[in-house]
Structure 1
């Protein structure tokens, strides 16, 4: 005889609030369908009352209009019930959203608390102290190496550093300088000015 293992049912994600909202919406839909039936009945009763009046059956027409009036009052009452159902549905849905927000805040606060607990002040101070000691030790090594090198060694270091930088930098193509021209003065005007200056230098003849 074999042994039958039953599968465990997964916990349902549908909450009691979800069920309540679903029931309210179902009741709302039923009321809307009831309203449509009443509206159709009102239209038919009015048409039937006209026919009864035309056929001389005034009493039956009046009775039918009374029924119509009663159904109109029912229709008004169902509108009020619909408003109440809609309001209650929105209130429950909003309460669910608020509950989800509160749960999210709770999870966030718990996570933040765990992070703060993991960040021990003593550990942080120890890490900062080790970092400071490491920097100081590196500075001591730099000072020691610098003191052992001559000026010539320093120049060699600077030259090698400049060579490495130039290797890393992209080469920029050299551009030959464009000869500048005096744009304000035309060559002919330059020659003209030169001749005027030479005439000014010639000796002026004295009158006898």
Structure 2
């Protein structure tokens, strides 16, 4: 039990890349420069007010010295603007590089998937499937044409001729299969009637 609860869990690998660290450091430097600019700007305003006060007191040399200090601070402020521009450009480039990297990874995954699909289904298989599909479509069209009466004049003539032949064969078969006429007692009623008439004539002559 002690080992179960006392065992340290393996920490998951950090997802923070070197590019992320670099971007973070650049943004921290950018923020520091901006804070420095604000501080310098406040100092410049103070130096200007001090120079005015010295001029009022007639201390022209000290006022001039203060203005020189102010000018130097302004040059530093201009340099920080250039540094800020460089940092912003670096941050933009690194972030865009990360986007490009993700795009490349996506393309690699897509290409790998395409290769696997191509391995599973070769060009010959695709051509065979397309041929079979085309044959199936053509057969279905033929069936649809037959069912919808879409026959040519020659086909209709052949159909009528075959129908006439079947009818003739059917009639000939019926004639051959007629029942036999019975031969027994054919004409018997007429023969007896003639004999009766003959007997009647003989009786008249005898009397």
Residues 108 and 52 from structure 1, CA distance in 2 versus in 1: closer, same or farther, beyond 3 angstroms?
same
C-alpha distance in 2, partners of 1:94/1:125?
A: 43
Q: Tell me the equivalent position of 1:203.
A: none
Q: CA deviation at 1:26?
A: 0.8
Shift in CA distance, 61/13, structure 1 to aligned 2, threshold 3 Å: same
Aligned to 2:20: 18
1:107 aligns to what? 109
Alignment of 1:25-36 (within 5 A): 25-36=27-38
Question: How far did residue 62 of structure 1 move?
Answer: 1.6
CA distance in structure 1 between the partners assigned to 2:47 and 2:60 by the alignment: 14
> Which protein is bigger by CA-based radius of gyration?
2
Q: Match of 1:116?
A: 118
Which residue of the partner structure matches residue 44 of structure 1? 46
Runs of 4+ off more than 6 Å: 128-131
- CA distance in structure 1 between the partners assigned to 2:116 and 2:52 by the alignment: 79
State the TM-score, normalized to the length of structure 2: 0.59
Q: In the alignment, which residue of structure 2 is the partner of 1:88?
A: 90
Unaligned runs of 5+ in 2: 147-158, 164-207
Equivalent pairs, count: 147
1 CA distance for matches of 2:110 and 2:99? 16
Inter-partner Cα distance in structure 1 for 2:38 and 2:123 = 71
C-alpha distance 118-48 of structure 1, shift in aligned 2 (>3 A): same
Deviation at 1:124, TM superposition (A): 5.1
Partner of 2:70: 68
Q: Distance in 2 between matches of 1:41 and 1:86?
A: 25
Specify the alignment match of 1:2 in structure 2: 2
Report the TM-score when normalising by structure 1. 0.59
* Structure 1 residue 123 displacement after superposition: 5.0
Q: CA deviation at 1:33?
A: 0.6
Q: Shift of the alpha carbon at 1:35?
A: 0.6
How many angstroms apart in 1 are the aligned matches of 2:55 and 2:130?
A: 101
CA-atom RMSD in angstroms:
3.3
Deviation at 1:120, TM superposition (A): 3.6
Stretch of structure 1 that moved more, 89-98 or 72-81: 89-98
Which structure is higher in helix share?
2
2:59 maps to 57
